[in-house]
Every structure is written in structure tokens, then in C-alpha cells.
Amino acid sequence: MTETTFVLVPGAGGGTWYWHLLEPELRRRGHAAVAVDLPTGDDHAGLREYADAVVAAAGDRAPLVLVAQSMAGFSAPLACERLGDRLVLLVLVNAMVPAPGETAGEWWAATGQPEARRALDLAEGRPVDGEFDPLVTFFHDLPGHVAEEALARGNPQSDTPFGLPFPLPAWPDVPTRVVVGRDDRLFPAAFQRRVARERLGVDADVLPGGHLVALSDPNGLADLLVGYLPG
């Protein structure tokens, strides 16, 4: 099998560390991995600058698979045309799927995410009106030491990208797969599967784990990603 480079794009407030457990799993399977360092704390950086960071991280490598976590669903597609035919696949992992002209700030209400999250919290017996707790929403399925480090490593996230319309008139013409965490409390699995069907016409694959599945099940995610490779 040809060595493929997986270009790993973190979500809002994320950094390269988010992928540190997945990267060695991909390498053990005979492939390369490059984690993208986004300018999340730069108030002057928007979606285009995030896409610039993706292209720069990819360098001249080929073939490529672009893996976009959470908010990276807004920026990673902007890099697709620039990566050209070196890019064989785009994989969304618990990711936001934008509509043309929609901002990341508008996405929540437009997709019905607040209602979906509230319904899941009620169904699973969690408070729905309390203060946001990342340990409950993001880190609930992580080993204790990983959750502690993730909480300590949280990066500042600029509000700038949330106010910028998704600039593409249509989804990039590149094969796209969607991975959903079965136990995601921020973007419930049923909600994600509906959005993927409505906006991309794609049936999502469900993997055990929460929103940060690359930390909770890097082995399972690596198997799924490598299994997507053509040929």
C-alpha cells in the first residue's frame, strides 16, 4: 500500500497536541501524519488564514488525506482546491458542516444543534441549564491523565472565524467521509448523521467515543481512517 500522509486539522481552541495519540497509530499502519498548528489565538486570522496553515503543513507531500475535527469543517474545505489532485479524501470527524454563506456563529441555530444537545442531555439525565463544564461535555470519556492535560493545554480561540461566511459556493469536489462519535455530547450522533445526510448526502460512520475521539479511541479512529484509503 502506498504511504499516505494524513493532514490533521484540530477544532476550535485545539492544537497539534490533540492528535498526539493518533499520529503514532497511523505511522504504525505504514502512513505519515502531520498535525496542523492553526493561528487560533490571532484575532486577525480568519478561515483563509486557517486554510493557509493547512496547505503549509501539507507541503509537497502526496497522496494526502485531510482530516478535519469539529470547527475545522469550516476551514479544511478551503484548502482542498489548493491541494489539487494530491488530495484523495476529506474526512470530517465530529465536524461542523457549513452551508454556502453561513458563518460558524450561525451554524448552531441553523442546524438545530442547541435543541439536539438539550434533548440528549435530558435523555441521559444531565442538567440542561447549569454552567458549561468541559469535563462533562468534552472530556467525559478520556482517561483521567489525558483529560487533565487536555484541560491544561486548551488554546485561546479568537472569535474572528465564527463571524466569517463560508466562502465556497458548494462543497469541494473531493470524496468526503464523515465520522461521528457515538457518545459525543456537544454534537449528538443522531444530529450529526442528519446534518451529514442533509448537507452532504453522506451516511456517517459511527465510532465509540465522545467529541474528542482522537484522544479517547485513537486506535479505532486510525483503523477507520486507513480503511477509507482507496485501493
**pLDDT for 162-209, tens place per residue?**
999 999 999 999 999 999 999 999 999 999 999 999 999 999 999 999
Here the CATH number for the domain that contains residue 201 is: 3.40.50.1820
Per-residue pLDDT tens digits for 29-85: 999 999 999 999 999 999 999 999 999 999 999 999 999 999 999 999 999 999 999
How high does pLDDT run on average in the chain? Answer: 96
The 3-state secondary structure of the chain, one letter per residue = CCCCEEEEECCCCCCHHHHCCHHHHHHHCCCEEEECCCCCCCCCCCHHHHHHHHHHHHCCCCCEEEEEECCHHHHHHHHHHHHHHHEEEEEEECCCCCCCCCEHHHHHHHHCHHHHHHHHHHHCCCCCCCCCCHHHHCCCCCCHHHHHHHHHCCCCCCCHHHHCECCCCCCCCCCEEEEEECCCCCCCHHHHHHHHHHHHCCCCEEECCCCCHHHHCHHHHHHHHHHCCCC
Q: Which domain holds residue 135?
A: 5-227
Q: Which of 106-120, 129-143, 163-177 has the lowest mean pLDDT?
A: 129-143
How many domains is the chain built from? 1
Pairing relation of β-strands 64-69 and 32-35? unpaired
For residue 155, pLDDT beyond 90: no
Question: What's the confidence (pLDDT) of residue 158?
Answer: 94
pLDDT at site 1: 65
